[in-house]
């Protein structure tokens, strides 16, 4: 395997990499937030007079001080920069204290006196959906934030055609992203009137919109720059953007640089979580082993603010039957407002919940039919040319579901080992189990929104290259992937390509770095930019030498039959001498997708990925402690640009998915997060995990200019059901609530 390549590794391994909180500016002030102590109330008054007398305090900022718009949001503008008149969640921020030092700002927090009038809160989504329920967001007019559905085939006929019908409810919990670096932002109003912001956020363009809306600025008057961030996993979108907007608000009002760094407690309290779901499935099967229908109702607790709940639940809708062909489908999915801490984007984005249910349901069905879990899946899984439950024909790429499944089952030696499973045998002092799960996943945003990205390649007179794209480095290694793609296209060593510190003022809005779309969209734009650049160089060389430049290899430019025309440096120098800029702007526009909200039909995603994961584990019959023994995963990535980093995504996803399955949950009390720090939120540690095997499957994707697809999310969306299936074969019991809490 190629050695790992990361353009930021040296800085990160020497401690030189500077994250937001590592920056200090002259005359910099510090801000801290005052959080609500209750989930639902009217704000009667906020008295800041005592806090203002506290040493070092310069100002206490309230919603009334916001020059722009108080509320903003990516879909529904319901998320307040500072709570105004009403509190909807314990994550609400009522005031910002700005002081000379952070300690001084923190010391003044308890001196702010808040008078409230409590409103009865609603914490149960089913209760919130009742027509008689009080509205949590009266401006929106309903507690049902969104509703999606699929109607396909004839559900009555499906019922009639069934030999067995399985009904099963599942539930999944609220979990924390637990990125290692809590939110932080540093804002400075420049002399030219531009508000400059760096922050621990994953979406510079989304952040720019939040900042501009709060300040009442034009987008061009806000510049968001990228610095290293300590993890995101989907979690540094709305909240992180709002932390940036608050720092900018302080900097705007005080005309000094302001840093706003969250403690872990603040981060846990305020940031959005993975949506907890209740899923009610009814599945019919025929004696021939085919699925005859699926009827499902899902309710997702969106919490107090919309965030991206409509998009998360849309993915659950499209993928509600897992990776299987189902002729008759009736699916209803609701995203619901409650007074709980809100839910938003989290790696997986509506698929981990659905896969947790469906990948157990198919095994329950197989068992009912007396079939094994492999043949049942083989019979019903999507194949080349299959039609999905939303009427999309899978024919634009290689459908490799069977390939990834076979590779995993072979690697782990599944069929031999399943004979050894304990099924709760009272005679055994250790229960052994093996299990697996499979999935397909629509790539990128799909019909959630417009999907395009750009890249700039700017070759300097000495032949060195500046590259940037509209994709953000969240820690996954996106910059390195883009450098590798450009290096291969241009035939240059990676050392000659510098990824330029990205800024929202220098490259067009490329959308958010989510949905495993970084390598696919940014890589596509990079490939296209490189092709344009090569065209510019080739045209210049043709005029000069009357030779057709086609091959760019090892720093040389060659004719189609391998004749060297000149070196890269000479070609670039020639361009400059002829008044030609070796500069290219490349765009990748994702192929069109479609969606009909009424029927739930459409080509939901322009391409799909396929994955399989298997697990071996042991359960102690006395303590019911689960020990993971082995994890194996195969995912089709189209093309592995940076294999070591692709594997890193596998391992990291498996670990996160295993934590989701075994113990991660974030309980609330009265709508607020109980955990005050990481001692109350268990995360996978090095000793909790077994050795893992990553099998990279490459079927180059014709719809992707770089041939690569995404890998960030597929890797964690099936680990939990694979573990549930293994626990079933170890203990003989099905656990349908995540996390899997074993009971005697």
Report the nearest approach of another protein to the CB of residue 592 (Å).
33
How many Cβ atoms are within 10 Å of 650's Cβ, its own excluded? 27
Pairing of strands 184-189, 195-199: antiparallel
Which residues are registered as beta bridge partners of 553?
556
Nearer Cβ to another protein (21/616): 21
Q: How far is CA 91 from CA 1, 88, 430, in A?
A: 46, 8, 44
Report the nearest approach of another protein to the CB of residue 99 (Å).
15
Nearer Cβ to another protein (182/322): 182
Report the nearest approach of another protein to the CB of residue 739 (Å).
17
Q: Which residues, in sequence order, are CB contacts of 145 under 8 Å at separation 6+? A: 76, 302, 306, 309, 310, 335, 336, 337
Nearer Cβ to another protein (686/744): 686
Q: Which residues, in sequence order, are CB contacts of 371 under 8 Å at separation 6+? A: 289
Report the nearest approach of another protein to the CB of residue 93 (Å).
20
Nearer Cβ to another protein (28/547): 28
Which residues are registered as beta bridge partners of 199?
185
Report the nearest approach of another protein to the CB of residue 651 (Å).
3
Residue 82 to residue 250: CA distance in whole angstroms: 12
Nearer Cβ to another protein (90/719): 719
Residue 465 to residue 467: CA distance in whole angstroms: 6
Q: Which residue has the tokens 């090095």?
A: 686
Residue 346 to residue 273: CA distance in whole angstroms: 7
Nearer Cβ to another protein (179/305): 179
Q: Is 659 helix (H, G, I), strand (E, B) or coil?
A: helix
Q: How far is CA 266 from CA 79, 102, 272, 436, 567, in A?
A: 17, 14, 12, 38, 56
Nearer Cβ to another protein (339/476): 476
Q: Which residues, in sequence order, are CB contacts of 42 under 8 Å at separation 6+? A: 85, 86, 87, 116, 117, 119
Nearer Cβ to another protein (486/656): 656
Report the nearest approach of another protein to the CB of residue 686 (Å).
4
- Residue 652 has what DSSP assignment? H
Backbone angles phi, psi at 681, to 5 degrees: -140, 105
Report the nearest approach of another protein to the CB of residue 109 (Å).
16
* Closest listed residue to residue 643, CA positions, set 460, 533, 480: 480
Q: Is 723 helix (H, G, I), strand (E, B) or coil?
A: helix
Nearer Cβ to another protein (284/653): 653
Nearer Cβ to another protein (497/656): 656
Report the nearest approach of another protein to the CB of residue 693 (Å).
9
Report the nearest approach of another protein to the CB of residue 661 (Å).
14
Report the nearest approach of another protein to the CB of residue 106 (Å).
12
The contact set with another protein (CB under 8 A) reads 3-4, 6, 8-19, 21-22, 177-182, 228-233, 263-264, 474-477, 644-645, 647-648, 650-656, 677-679, 683-687, 689, 691-692
**Tokens describing residue 666:** 């974030």
State yes or no: cis peptide before 158, omega within 30 of 0.
no
* Closest listed residue to residue 254, CA positions, set 20, 59, 57: 59
């Amino acid at each position: 395997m190629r050695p790992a390549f990361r353009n930021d590794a040296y800085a990160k391994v020497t401690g030189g990499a500077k994250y937001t909180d590592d920056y200090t500016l002259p005359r910099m002030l510090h801000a801290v937030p005052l959080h609500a102590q209750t989930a639902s109330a009217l704000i009667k008054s906020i008295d800041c007079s005592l806090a203002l007398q506290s040493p070092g305090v310069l100002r206490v900022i309230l919603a009334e001080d916001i020059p722009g718009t108080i509320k903003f949001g990516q879909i529904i503008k319901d998320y307040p920069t500072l709570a105004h008149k009403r509190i909807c969640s314990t994550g609400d921020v009522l005031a910002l204290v700005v002081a000379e030092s952070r300690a001084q700002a923190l010391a003044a927090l308890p001196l702010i006196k808040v008078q409230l009038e409590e409103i009865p809160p609603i914490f149960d989504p089913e209760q919130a959906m009742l027509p008689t329920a009080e509205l949590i967001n009266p401006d929106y007019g309903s507690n049902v934030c969104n509703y999606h559905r699929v109607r396909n085939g004839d559900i009555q006929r499906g019922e009639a055609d069934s030999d067995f019908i399985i009904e099963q409810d599942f539930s999944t919990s609220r979990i924390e992203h637990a990125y290692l670096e809590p939110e932080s932002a540093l804002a400075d109003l420049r002399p030219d009137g531009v508000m400059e912001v760096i922050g621990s956020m994953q979406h510079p363009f989304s952040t720019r919109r939040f900042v501009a809306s709060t300040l009442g600025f034009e987008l061009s008057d806000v510049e968001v720059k990228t610095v290293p961030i300590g993890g995101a996993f989907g979690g540094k979108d709305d909240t992180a953007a709002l932390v940036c907007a608050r720092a900018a608000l302080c900097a705007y009002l005080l005309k000094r640089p302001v840093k706003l760094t969250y403690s872990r407690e603040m981060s846990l309290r305020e940031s959005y979580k993975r949506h907890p779901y209740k899923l009610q499935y009814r599945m019919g099967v025929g004696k021939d082993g085919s699925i005859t229908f699926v009827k499902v109702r899902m309710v997702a607790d969106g919490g107090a603010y919309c965030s991206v709940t409509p998009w998360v639940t849309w993915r659950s809708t499209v993928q509600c039957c897992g990776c299987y062909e189902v002729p008759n489908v009736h699916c209803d999915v609701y995203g619901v407002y409650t007074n709980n801490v809100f839910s938003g984007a989290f790696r997986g984005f509506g698929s981990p919940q659905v896969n947790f249910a469906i990948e157990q349901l198919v095994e329950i069905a197989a068992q009912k039919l007396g079939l094994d879990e492999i043949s049942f899946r083989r019979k019903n899984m999507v194949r080349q040319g299959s039609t999905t439950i939303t009427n999309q024909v899978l024919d634009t790429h290689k459908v490799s579901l069977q390939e990834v499944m076979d590779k995993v089952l072979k690697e782990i030696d599944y069929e031999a080992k399943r004979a050894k499973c304990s099924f709760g045998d009272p005679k055994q002092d250790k229960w052994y189990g093996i299990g697996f799960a499979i999935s397909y996943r629509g790539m990128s945003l799909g019909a959630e929104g417009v999907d395009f990205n750009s890249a700039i390649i700017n070759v300097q007179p000495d032949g060195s290259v500046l590259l940037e794209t509209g994709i953000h480095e969240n820690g996954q290694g996106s910059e390195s992937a883009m450098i590798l793609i450009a290096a291969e296209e241009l035939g240059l060593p990676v050392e000659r390509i510098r990824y330029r510190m990205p800024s929202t003022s220098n490259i067009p809005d490329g959308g958010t770095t989510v949905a495993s779309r970084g390598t696919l969209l940014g890589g596509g734009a990079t490939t296209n930019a490189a092709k344009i650049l090569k065209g510019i160089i080739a045209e210049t060389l043709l005029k000069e030498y009357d030779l057709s430049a086609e091959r760019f290899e090892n720093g040389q430019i060659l004719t189609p039959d391998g004749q060297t025309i000149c070196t890269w440096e000479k070609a670039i120098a020639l361009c400059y001498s002829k008044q030609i800029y070796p500069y290219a702007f490349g765009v990748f526009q994702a192929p069109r997708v479609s969606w009909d909200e009424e029927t739930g039909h459409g080509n939901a995603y322009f391409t799909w990925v396929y994955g399989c994961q298997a697990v071996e584990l042991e359960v102690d019959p006395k303590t019911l402690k689960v020990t993971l023994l082995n994890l194996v995963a195969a995912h089709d990535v189209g093309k592995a640009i940076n294999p070591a980093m692709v594997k890193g995504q596998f391992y990291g996803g498996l670990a996160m998915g295993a934590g989701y399955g075994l113990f991660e949950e974030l309980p609330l009390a009265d709508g607020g997060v109980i955990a005050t720090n990481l001692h109350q939120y268990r995360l996978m540690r090095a000793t909790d995990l077994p050795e893992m095997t990553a099998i990279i499957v490459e079927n180059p994707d014709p719809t992707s200019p770089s041939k690569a697809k995404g890998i960030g999310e597929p890797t964690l969306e099936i680990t939990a059901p694979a573990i549930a299936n293994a626990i079933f074969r170890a203990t003989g019991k099905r656990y349908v609530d995540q996390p899997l809490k074993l009971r005697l």
